[in-house]
Amino acid sequence: MNKQYGTIPFVREDGKIKVIMITSASGYWIFPKGQYEKDEGKSGTAAMESLEEAGVEGRILKNNAYRTKVFIKSGEEVHLTLYAMEVKKIHAKWEEDHRRERKILTFKEARKRITSDSLLKCLEKFERDFAQ
C-alpha cells in the first residue's frame, strides 16, 4: 500500500483563515503531498513536500490530521494523510515554482477549484476544525 503525506497549509489574513493550494503536474488544484520518506518521518515528509512543491514553511499541527484514499495518475490507490500547517514563511522562489501555480484561497474559492471528492472532504473537515 502506497502512503503519502502532505499538508493543508493555511494563513490568517484579515482575521480569516485561508488555505494555500498548488497545481499538480496535470493542472489540478491540490495540497502539497508526496511519497513517505522514512528518513524524514510522517510530519517531516509533509513539511519537506510543502517546501518543495508550494514554497511554504510553518508549524505542523499533528493533532489535526486528515486521512483519505486517493487514486494517483497511475491508477494506484494511495493512503493520504494531510496535516494542518500554520504557515510562517512563504518563499517568493521555491524548488518547483516553474512547474506549479500557488494561490492563497478562501474556503469558498478552494472548494470551487478542488475536483477530487476525497480532497474536498479533507478540506471540509479542516474548515469545520478551523473556521471562525
**CA distances (Å), 37 to each of 4, 49, 76, in order?**
9, 10, 18
**Given the DSSP bridges, would you call strands 77-90 and 2-13 parallel, antiparallel or unpaired?**
parallel
- Tell me the pLDDT tens digit for each residue of 67-103: 999 877 777 888 999 999 999 999 999 999 999 999 9
pLDDT digits (tens, 9 = 90+) for 55-68: 999 999 988 999 99
pLDDT score at 87: 98
Q: Alpha carbon 102 to chain centroid distance?
A: 11
Report the predicted TM-score, pTM, of the whole model to 2 decimal places. Answer: 0.94
- Place 1 in a pLDDT band, splitting at 50, 70 and 90: low
Q: Are 64 and 17 within 8 A, CB to CB?
A: no
Cβ atoms 86, 58 nearer than 8 A:
yes
**Domains observed in the chain:** 2-130 (3.90.79.10)
